[in-house]
Amino acid sequence: MSSSRVLHIDVSGRPVGLISWTRAASMLWDGRATAIEVEDGKFWRSPSVEIPKSRIIQTHDYVKLRPLKDNQIIKRVLFGRDGFKCQYCGKQLTRNTATIDHVKPRAKFIKEGRPVTDAHTYTNCVTSCVKCNTKKGDRLPYECGMMPIKDPKVPSYVQVLWAGKLYCPIQAEYVSMYFKVDEETLLANPVKVP
């Protein structure tokens, strides 16, 4: 059995997430989904069942997506948004070497009498290597001459969908067509975890 992820799209054709092959096989088996893209000659097998291995499945219902909250950072989404690169020196990072840096340090928020949670937002956090994070410390970028490569923004849904996930080109092609993003950019961006 493969551990690959399956692109789940809803009845409108909108990509809603990547799911495990076991969940996809279960949805196909009990009729809650239809296979849209299958791999020729490959199957998910059990002693009593053989289901064509799917890369994209479509459910028969509309899925309501929850909006991403700016103040609830998901590390893999933040790191995926920044391409697993330090936003100060450009060094390529992994999940184990990436850290979160607060562009405006938490200490500055406390000094202003604001809650620390105000500092922990997608618009104030960037991916950083340990060396740059330590060097910057509790200073503002202009105070230490370390400006982020890109301005931090709330991630797009495409970034959320792909952050930290493994995917195949047919899924990237589908997502790029649906969201009208460049497929080469989607495949080139390090949404694959190093």
Tokens representing 179 are: 């969201």
Alpha-carbon span 51 to 62, nearest angstrom: 24
Q: Are 131 and 78 in contact (CB under 8 A)?
A: no
For the chain, the structural domain boundaries read 5-65+157-188, 75-144
Domain 75-144 has CATH 1.10.3720: no
Q: To which residue do tokens 């493969």 refer?
A: 2
Q: End-to-end CA distance of the chain: give it in Å, rounded.
A: 23
Q: Which residue, 185, 183, 177, 170, is CA-closest to 56?
A: 170
Collapsed DSSP state (helix, strand, coil) of residue 143: helix
What's the pLDDT at 60?
Answer: 92
Q: Which residue, 111, 89, 109, 107, is CA-closest to 98?
A: 89
* pLDDT by residue, tens only, the chain of 194 residues: 344 788 999 999 888 888 888 899 999 999 999 999 888 888 888 888 888 889 999 999 988 877 777 778 888 888 888 888 999 999 999 989 999 999 999 999 999 999 988 999 999 999 999 999 999 999 999 999 999 999 998 887 776 666 546 567 788 778 877 877 655 555 554 343 33
What's the pLDDT at 186?
Answer: 55
Alpha-carbon span 58 to 35, nearest angstrom: 6
What's the pLDDT at 185?
Answer: 53
What's the pLDDT at 21?
Answer: 87
What's the pLDDT at 95?
Answer: 86
Report DSSP state, residue 66: P
